[in-house]
Structure 1
Amino acid sequence: MPRPFVFNVMDGKRDRLVQIKVQLLVRGYENETLAKKHIPLLEGTLVRVFGVASVAQLRNPEGKDQIREQALIELNKETKKLEGKELIHTVLFTGFVLQ
């Protein structure tokens, strides 16, 4: 993805700042081209998935894996609607900061 996702998550009465750098793994040049064409949709989908994450999920490896899996499911659901096939093979977090 071209830029990191930065958002706030409530932790009790306090806001926590989260920054996640994401890379999407696709297989094949055709799928790469189609994925690049739909970057705004993919970004919106990731914002939606990240927006429902809790601080507890973001703090532990199992929770991060759940978020990654949910992101993959939602991304492929959207690409299947538009292109008739699942384009994304893997969602990778290449940078992760929780303050």
Structure 2
Amino acid sequence: MYHSKWRERLPARPAFYNYIAVMFSLNALALFACALTGSGASFGFWLYGGTIVCYHALYLPLLYVTFLADFFQEEDLHLENVYYSEMKDAGFFDADWE
């Protein structure tokens, strides 16, 4: 079996299944709202509008929490200060003060 360093960075299956469950339930609610609207209930139109607002407002935060939150908390991404201090120690910014 092929092993790579990216395999550890991929989301765990439960996180992906939670993402699928949230998206499925939101789409099922939208389908129910469309069925209500098709049968003549005016509440279905408002329910469908609410699902659209929830989808557009919560889709990116859901993607971040499911797939990217663990990636951006790694220590490798906090090395900017280390590189800056190394450059400062090497005298890279001495010309700026003259």
TM-score by length of 2: 0.28
Greater fraction of residues in helix:
2
Greater fraction of residues in strand:
1
TM-score by length of 1: 0.28
